[in-house]
Amino acid sequence: MRILIISDIHANLAALEAVLEDAGHFDSAWCLGDLVGYGPDPNECVQRISSLPGLQCIVGNHDAAALRTIDAEAFNPEARQAIYWTQTTLTEASLSFLKQLPEVLKIQDVTLAHGSPRHPVWEYILDTQTAGLSFPHFDTPFCFVGHSHMPVIFNLIHDNGRAKMSVPEIRKQLTLSGRAILNPGSVGQPRDRDPRAAYALFDPEIPAWEYRRVPYDIASVQSRMAAARLPLRHIERLSSGW
């Protein structure tokens, strides 16, 4: 069983297509939210993701903002500008798809949440303390999250909530054990100083996790963002992954 794990695509079709080509065959795709926001291709990304085999998908905070279920005023000025553009650009078909996405999904031994299991849409898990506080809020061995755009694994090391943080090696299959919170990083807007698109492959039968990176045509995306008059900060950050 080979499951594609993607998150934070952020309307970046070139990055998404590079990930899909690099991944090769997979039986199912699990998307951890933020299909839209920041990037120039919201409708194309929604359509492409909705067509993936065995899709399981949850809503992210930018998806919710595009739907106006989260107030855009809660975002910083540049993100807010991108949200307003996305709201005017999304088709009815894209809106309909996003509206039916749940905040949390539980699939066998895995819980899916965009931010964290205790605050699915908004909370960032960036440190071991927040990770430790999150473990009581899901009852599966594993929880897959996005939102931070940072590829990382948090392992529970004591029942009292202590967690250990690690960054997985690229293209090395890691056998999972115990309880863990895993983030595949961002497809469309990495923030770990590596501009390549990030994703993971999950084999639930072992269980195993393989973290991957793949380059894509960043300049073409930046050109389309500039043509749409999206914020310069979001355009520039794609080149260096910050």
With respect to residue 237, please indicate whether it lies within any of the assigned structural domains. no
The pLDDT value recorded for residue 131 is 97
With respect to residue 234, please indicate whether it lies within any of the assigned structural domains. no
β-bridge partners, 164 = 155
pLDDT at 31 over 80: yes
The pLDDT value recorded for residue 45 is 98
Domain count, the chain: 1
With respect to residue 104, please indicate whether it lies within any of the assigned structural domains. yes
Average pLDDT over residues 93-122: 97
- CA dist., res. 60 & res. 222, Å (int): 23
Pull the structure tokens for residue 166.
């690690």
Q: Which of 196, 189, 143 is nearest to 19 (CA)?
A: 196
With respect to residue 165, please indicate whether it lies within any of the assigned structural domains. yes
With respect to residue 236, please indicate whether it lies within any of the assigned structural domains. no
Q: Which of 64, 146, 50, 36 is nearest to 97 (CA)?
A: 50
Average pLDDT over residues 134-160: 95
pLDDT at 95 over 80: yes
- CA dist., res. 106 & res. 231, Å (int): 36
pLDDT range class, residue 161, cuts 50, 70, 90 = confident
With respect to residue 76, please indicate whether it lies within any of the assigned structural domains. yes
| Per-chain mean pLDDT for the chain | 97
The pLDDT value recorded for residue 153 is 98
CATH of residue 42's domain is: 3.60.21.10
Pull the structure tokens for residue 167.
């960054």
pLDDT at 160 over 90: no
Q: What does residue 37 show for φ and ψ, rounded to 5 degrees?
A: 100, 140
With respect to residue 140, please indicate whether it lies within any of the assigned structural domains. yes
- CA dist., res. 123 & res. 147, Å (int): 8
Strand pairing report for 142-144 and 180-183: parallel
Residue where the block lists tokens 């989260």: 70
User: Contact 178/140 with Cβ under 8 angstroms?
Assistant: no
pLDDT range class, residue 196, cuts 50, 70, 90 = very high
Pull the structure tokens for residue 181.
């919170």
Q: Which domain holds residue 36?
A: 3-229
With respect to residue 162, please indicate whether it lies within any of the assigned structural domains. yes
The pLDDT value recorded for residue 47 is 98
Average pLDDT over residues 96-115: 97
pLDDT tens, position by position, 197-231: 999 999 999 999 999 999 999 999 999 999 999 99
Residues 6+ away with beta carbon under 8 Å from 76: none
DSSP, res 74: G
